[in-house]
Structure 1
Amino acid sequence: MSKDLIQFLKDLEQNNNKEWFEAHKSTFQKHQKTMKTFFAEVADRLRATDDIESHKVFRIYRDVRFSKDKTPYKSWFAGSFKRTAPMLRGGYYMSMQPGHTKVGGGFYGPSPTDLLRIRREFEQNDSEIRSILDDKKFKSIFGELMGEEVKTAPKGFSADHPAIDLIRKKQFYVMRSFNDAEVTKPDFQDKVVETFLALRPYFDYMSSVLTTNLDGEVIVK
């Protein structure tokens, strides 16, 4: 990624209004094209080892209808890569923001059925998920499992369960951070792909959970 792209996002953050954006729209379109090409190339590289159904770069325009923040534009580029459902679960995600670039993925909004299935799995046996999350390489890349969680325990679960730290979560994702110097290096795309590939043990495990019942019988065709 070029330093010009990072600088454009910095300038947009400082001038987040329609007048400035329209005056610099050609610059935005140039950088948007760069991002679309970048995401397409990453998607092609992921397909060498994973089944990617689709990918997309999100719109830069913010939906301000129900937000107190009325700034019209996002000061970052972001997008996602969708694995082929229903057998392959989990989604890859990347956002590029000056000083706060994030690469990772997981499960941001599991359905009530999927959320309950995940929690029941952790309730029954949390050793496999912990072995993945505590793996030295995985932890060095991503750190801790992230996501919103309930304050005590979900309905139907004991607050004293040994796996309550996992059970109380409503989201299950991990992220790797990159600074601007790392983002503008020639090997940044390699680092992104490397990061996504490091997610596979986690995705493979969660896909197995979400396509079987607690007895290990396949429930998805």
Structure 2
Amino acid sequence: MTTKPSSNAVFTKETFDFLRDLVQNNHRDWFHANRARYDDAKSELCSVVERVLAGMSPFEPLANTAVKDCIFRINRDIRFSKDKAPYKSNLAFAIGPGGRHSGRIDYYVQIQPGNQSFLGAGMWQPTPTNLAKFRQEVDYNVDELKNIIEADEFKAYFPEVQGETLKVMPKGYPADHPEIELLRRKELFFAHRYTDKEVLKPNFADEVVRGCRIIKPYCDFLNYLFFDEKEEPVML
């Protein structure tokens, strides 16, 4: 990182107040009249992201990853949605090489009042090819994955498991397979929720870094499996 992280990287009550008010006034006229409040909230978000990037740099290759590339726009894409509210009710960012569009498994943080803020990472809406790779790895060599997600520290910090699960076994696997629960997963995403009080603490950015460090082995496992593992040559 080329810039020194802000020493004032904190969220304030005013940011939560803005997000709560936005839920009740989700239209462009109100937003533009309260643009200064949004700018203040975004400034706090940028400072926190800057500190998270700096904290992760010793264990995650994030060179040339800019704060602005990690932050999601507050505007919603309403083109194909029945809900025409133009703005999201949260602030969010994703940490990956180059930012939120890294194309790899990254770390996602959402800030939302009502104790709905969270850090999450994992397999979410995988391509059919990547899902097949995941299931093959579970079938052939599940120990590495289970050693990660069943570790005491991991389970304590990420107790919430999200994602779709098949009601039946996927094709090609026996119904009595010993890893039936993992094989039925279409998504395997882990989350840690933060209370509003925790988000407003001065050390919140450092706490996010701690969570990212804990879930990094799972992200590394998926990134290697999906993107980095070389196919074995076929011997003729």
Is 1:179 equivalent to 2:195 in the alignment? yes
Is 1:170 equivalent to 2:170 in the alignment? no
Map of 1:160 onto structure 2? 176
Map of 1:68 onto structure 2? 82
Is 1:3 equivalent to 2:13 in the alignment? yes
Give the CA deviation at 1:126.
1.9
Distance of 1:132 and 1:115 partners within structure 2: 18
Give the CA deviation at 1:213.
6.3
Give the CA deviation at 1:186.
0.9
Distance of 1:20 and 1:144 partners within structure 2: 35
Map of 1:201 onto structure 2? 217
After superposition, the CA RMSD in angstroms is 2.2
Map of 2:127 onto structure 1? 111
Give 5+ residue unaligned stretches, structure 1.
Answer: none
Give yes or no for contact 2:106–2:122 (8 Å, CA) kept in 1.
Answer: yes
Change (3 A) 1:144 1:127: farther
Distance of 2:73 and 2:224 partners within structure 1: 32
Is 1:212 equivalent to 2:226 in the alignment? no
Give yes or no for contact 2:123–2:222 (8 Å, CA) kept in 1.
Answer: no
Give the CA deviation at 1:72.
1.2
Map of 1:22 onto structure 2? 32
Map of 1:58 onto structure 2? 72
Give yes or no for contact 1:133–1:144 (8 Å, CA) kept in 2.
Answer: no
Most deviating of 60-69 and 153-162: 153-162
Q: Deviations over 1:108-127 (max 9, x none)?
A: 23222221111101011322
Give yes or no for contact 2:15–2:40 (8 Å, CA) kept in 1.
Answer: no
Distance of 2:104 and 2:174 partners within structure 1: 27
Change (3 A) 1:19 1:89: closer
Map of 2:96 onto structure 1? 82
**Aligned residue among 22, 35, 38 for 2:45:** 35
Give yes or no for contact 2:122–2:222 (8 Å, CA) kept in 1.
Answer: no
Give the CA deviation at 1:41.
2.2
Give the CA deviation at 1:145.
3.5
Q: Deviations over 1:117-152 (max 9, x none)?
A: 111010113222122211111111001432222221
Q: What is the correspondence of 1:104-143 to structure 2 with a 5 Å cutoff?
A: 104-143=120-159
Give 5+ residue unaligned stretches, structure 2.
Answer: 1-10
Q: Deviations over 1:89-124 (max 9, x none)?
A: 521000000020011212223222221111101011
Distance of 2:162 and 2:62 partners within structure 1: 23
Change (3 A) 1:60 1:120: same
Distance of 2:23 and 2:217 partners within structure 1: 37
